[in-house]
């Protein structure tokens, strides 16, 4: 059983492909439960799965003080289930205590972390002896998506020299988060000086290009810029975010340094949380060149082989922008990235699925040896599919439509009775 959250469609490609991967890879019958759909809590109590996967979309709701309490309440139905349980958190620098509490309450067998192993003790020291932790990527590649993008790539010219879409990272993420904004600001200012066109947008809530619109934009760019995702501060309970937001509400023009001095002096750098982003893999698929801040990138992307490296202080920015004009160099880099990353399937969803389902064989062996156990099979609650998505917004529209029809019917009956 895959427990997930969705309120709108279309999805980001990385999320859609991950949800599909659970059923596409592995010989398992998979039931999807959208935990935000009314009645989902009852379904969670009824189903008796062999393995429960709490998807990233569920754990992401801890960013919302309004949604997370209700989601957590529904997840309580899974705490006494005698089955293997897997949690997939991301952005673990925020409210890591909530993830630890859930893992302990559910007695999770496996936690798939995107954080470097060096940070696990800081994040999950309380549960490391009871729950296995493995590192996974923030995103993977799907064969069908790769083929689809290949057809799009032949239709779209590369009109922009440098492209970028990013959200304005909040101060509580530390300097690592601020790099997402700084690289966009610096390249947007420097690119025209080198005769390069730049399509760079920094929005408060991030880019809004979804589905094929995202792929078309990515293909249209010769180069994209970027940095590893992550943070350099650990906000265990979400209080740091609240403190910085209150401070900025009073001081909207405050710089990062001013926020740091007032809200978290001396804490920046307490966490070294950096990870490869799905968009880095997506650029490899579209054969778009990458200009990235130097980093590890999960050991998958190498400087000069797969991307042009920018120093963290941007001291070589002019040099890199001049190099980006060399189309022969760009062609060599993107070809090597496609071969080393896409064709080798180092980041294929089959690798992801085998990791997520790894606790299942041991649990099934235990279940076979437990003759007292009774398994109840309940009909599937598959509310997710690639072509059609049932979410809270969809249900709301249906309910409102039914109410409108019933109201019109009552008005018609009233007017008919009055006339007769």
Please report the pLDDT score of residue 27 as a whole number.
Answer: 76
Q: What residues in the chain have per-residue pLDDT under 50?
A: 205-206, 370-394
What pLDDT, on a 0 to 100 scale, did the predictor assign at position 395? 53
pLDDT per residue as tens digits for the range 137-154? 999 999 999 999 999 988
CB 209 within 8 A of CB 12: no
Q: For the chain, what is the HEC assignment?
A: CEEECCCCCCCCHHHHHHHHHHHHCCCCCCCEEECCCCCHHHHHHHCCCCEEEECHHHHHHHHCCCCHHHHHHHHHHHCCCCCEEEECCCCCCECHHHHHHHHHHHCCCEEEECCCHHHHHHHHCCCCCCCEEEECCCCCECHHHHHHHHHHHCCCCCCEEEEEEEECCCHHHHHHHHHHHHHHHHHHHHHHHHCCCEEEEEECCCCCCCCHHHHHHHHCEEEEEECCEEECCCECCCHHHHHHHHHHHHCCCCCHHHHHHHHCCCCCCCCCEEECCHHHHHHHHCCCEEEEECCCHHHCCCECCCEEEECCCCCCHHHHHHHCCCHHHHHHHHHHHHHHHHHCCCCEHHHHHHHHCCCHHHHHHHHHHCCCCCCCCCCCCCCECCCCECCHHHHHHHHHHHHHHHHHHHHHHHHHHHHC
Beta bridge partners of 291: 225, 308
pLDDT digits (tens, 9 = 90+) for 156-173: 888 899 999 988 889 999
pTM greater than the 0.75 cutoff: yes
Q: Which residue has tokens 């008919």?
A: 416
The residues spanned by each domain of the chain are: 2-139+348-389, 143-343
At the top level of CATH, which class does the domain 143-343 belong to? Answer: alpha beta
Asked if residues 140 and 18 have their Cβ atoms less than 8 Å apart, the reply is yes
């Amino acid at each position: 059983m895959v427990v997930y959250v969705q309120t709108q469609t279309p999805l980001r490609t990385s999320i859609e492909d991950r949800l599909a991967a659970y059923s596409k890879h592995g010989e398992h019958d998979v039931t999807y439960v959208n935990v935000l759909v009314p009645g989902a809590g009852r379904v969670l109590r009824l189903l008796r799965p062999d393995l429960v996967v709490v998807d990233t979309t569920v754990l992401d709701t801890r960013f919302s003080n309004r949604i997370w309490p209700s989601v957590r309440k529904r997840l309580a139905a899974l705490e006494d289930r005698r089955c293997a349980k897997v949690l997939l958190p991301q952005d673990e620098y925020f409210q890591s205590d909530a993830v630890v509490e859930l893992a302990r309450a559910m007695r999770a067998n496996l936690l798939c972390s995107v954080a470097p192993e060096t940070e696990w003790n800081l994040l999950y020291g309380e549960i490391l002896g009871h729950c296995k932790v493995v590192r996974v990527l923030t995103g993977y590649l799907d064969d069908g998506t790769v083929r689809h993008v290949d057809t799009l790539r032949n239709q779209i010219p590369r009109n922009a020299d440098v492209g970028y879409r990013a959200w304005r990272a909040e101060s509580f993420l530390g300097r690592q988060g601020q790099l997402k904004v700084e690289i966009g600001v610096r390249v947007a200012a420097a690119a025209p000086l080198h005769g390069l066109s730049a399509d760079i947008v920094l929005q408060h809530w991030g880019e809004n290009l979804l589905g094929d619109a995202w792929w078309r934009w990515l293909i249209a760019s010769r180069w994209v810029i970027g940095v590893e995702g992550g943070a350099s501060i650990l906000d265990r309970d979400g209080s740091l975010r609240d403190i910085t937001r209150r401070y900025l509400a009073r001081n909207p023009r405050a710089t990062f340094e001013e926020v740091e001095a007032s809200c978290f002096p001396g804490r920046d750098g307490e966490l070294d949380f950096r990870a490869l982003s799905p968009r880095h893999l997506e650029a490899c698929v579209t054969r778009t060149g990458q200009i990235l801040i130097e980093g590890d990138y999960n050991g998958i992307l190498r400087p000069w082989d797969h991307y042009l490296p920018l120093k963290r202080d941007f001291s070589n920015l002019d040099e890199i922008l001049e190099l980006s004009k060399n189309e022969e160099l760009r062609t060599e880099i993107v070809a090597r990235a496609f071969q080393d990353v896409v064709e080798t399937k180092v980041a294929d969803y089959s690798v992801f699925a085998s990791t997520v389902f790894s606790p299942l064989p041991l649990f099934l062996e235990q279940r076979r040896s437990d003759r007292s156990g009774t398994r109840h099979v309940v009909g599937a609650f598959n509310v997710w599919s690639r072509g059609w998505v049932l979410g809270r917004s969809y249900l709301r529209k249906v309910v409102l439509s039914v109410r409108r029809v019933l109201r019109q019917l009552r008005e018609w009956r009233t007017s008919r009775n009055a006339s007769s």
